[in-house]
Amino acid sequence: MSFLSLLQVAGGASTTGSFMSLIVTVVMMIAIFYFFLIRPQSKRQKETEKMLAALKKGDKVVTIGGIHGTVTSVKEKTVVLKVDDNAKIEFNRTAIASVEKTEVEKNVENKIEDKAEVKEAIKDN
C-alpha cells in the first residue's frame, strides 16, 4: 500500500483534505516570496549590471560611500574617478551606486513625459 492510502485508512478523508490545504498554503507562500522578493531583486540586479556595463569616461557618478566624481578611465574591474582638481580615486565597478543624468538626458526624458501626457489628454477627450 502507498503512504497516501495508509493515511486515508488511518485518518479518514479529513487527513487528505488537511494535507491538500497544507500543499496549497506552501505553494501560495512560495508564490508570494517569488513575486514580492525574488523577482524585484533580480530586476534591480539586472538594471545595476546594465548601468555598470555602460559606464564611460565623463559620466558623473555617486559611489555607495557617497563620493561624487567624474569617470576619468574605465578598466575591466575598476573605475578611476576624479573627485577634485588633483584628486583621483580608483574604485571597484561594484562600488558605483548610480550614474547622474546629464542635462541632455533630463531634457529628452522630460520631452518623452510631455508627449505621454499629451497622448493621455487626447485619449481623455
Tens digit of pLDDT per residue, the chain (125 long)? 455 555 555 554 556 778 888 999 999 999 999 999 999 999 999 999 999 998 999 999 999 999 999 999 999 999 999 999 899 999 999 999 999 877 666 666 667 766 666 667 677 66
Close Cβ partners of 69 (under 8 Å, ≥ 6 residues apart): 60, 61, 63, 81, 82, 83, 89
State the pTM of this model: 0.59
Q: Helix 13-33 to helix 3-11 angle, to the nearest 10 degrees?
A: 120
Q: How far apart are CA 19 and CA 78, in angstroms?
A: 54
